[in-house]
A and B are shown apart, each in its own frame.
Chain A
Amino acid sequence: QVQLVESGGGVVQPGGSLRLSCAASGFTFSSYGMHWARQAPGKGLEWVAFIQYDGSTTSYADSVKDRFTISRDDSRNTLYLQLKSLTAEDTAVYYCAKRPVAGSGRSYYFDYWGLGTPVTVSS
């Protein structure tokens, strides 16, 4: 069965950096686009970033553009999110989510989610 397991979260100082990982299993990772989303404490969900199955396309929410970088290592079945120039507003649980259709087929939702990894930006 599909499993997505995030890791790498923790406490980081303002201005700092962090790299989150999402280990995927139960499906052919290299065939699927992937997303990151986040949820600040007591707040709603926010879409953060997307990477196409072959890495040819990446996209970001305005709130994280130029600070966060999404990438993937298909040999490790792992999705990454590099976070830089962090502020308190980046404090959140970060979730990875899978695109439902393989390849470049049209699909505009998320079918499987991980349990999330918490990031706290604080001095």
Chain B
Amino acid sequence: QTVVTQEPSFSVSPGGTVTLTCGLSSGSVSTNNHPSWYQQTPGQAPRTLMYTTNIRSSGVPDRFSGSILGNKAALTITGAQADDESDYYCVLYVGSAIWMFGGGTRLTVL
């Protein structure tokens, strides 16, 4: 059974840089998985941040960037701000009209 893996939690200092990753238990993530990223604060609906690996959704600040790093998708926040403290989820397309969420990363800014 394929699982999409994310770090459960991460901490970053204000102004610092953090890279969250998104992997596949069964192999490597590539652009063919069309990685996308979503931000969610407790009790709120998800917000689309990034799609097709590295395209920022409308209104998303350019301190957010996406890439493939090694065998994983990555979301990098450069110059983290207090309101970046959220849960971050990646989604991978695994073929045959099936999508899979990662378990999410809780980012703390302190």
> A47 and B99: CB pair below 8 A?
yes
CA distance A21 to B39 in the complex (A): 24
> A59 and B48: CB pair below 8 A?
no
> A59 and B97: CB pair below 8 A?
yes
Listed from nearest, the 9 A-B pairs whose CB atoms lie closest are: A108-B34, A109-B36, A59-B97, A109-B51, A44-B104, A108-B93, A47-B99, A113-B45, A45-B101
Q: How many A-B residue pairs have CB under 8 A?
A: 61
B106 to chain A minimum Cβ distance, whole angstroms, is 10
Task: List chain B positions with a Cβ less than 8 A from chain A.
Answer: 1, 34, 36, 38, 40, 45-48, 51-52, 57, 87, 89, 91, 93, 96-104
Instruction: Find A47's partner among B34, B47, B100, B103 (CB 8 Å cutoff).
Output: B100
* Chain B CB within 8 A of A46 CB: yes
A9 to chain B minimum Cβ distance, whole angstroms, is 14
Residues in A whose Cβ lies below 8 Å from that of B97: 50, 52, 57, 59
Chain A residues with a Cβ closer than 8 Å to the other chain, count: 24
CB-nearest residue of chain A to B33: A108
CA distance A37 to B51 in the complex (A): 17
A117 to chain B minimum Cβ distance, whole angstroms, is 11
B76 to chain A minimum Cβ distance, whole angstroms, is 18
* Chain B CB within 8 A of A72 CB: no
Q: Which of A11-54 contact B (CB under 8 A)?
A: 35, 37, 44-47, 50, 52
CB-nearest residue of chain A to B42: A42
> A109 and B91: CB pair below 8 A?
yes
Residues in B whose Cβ lies below 8 Å from that of A73: none
CB-nearest residue of chain A to B45: A113
Residues in B whose Cβ lies below 8 Å from that of A111: 48, 51, 57
Instruction: Find B46's partner among A57, A100, A113 (CB 8 Å cutoff).
Output: A113
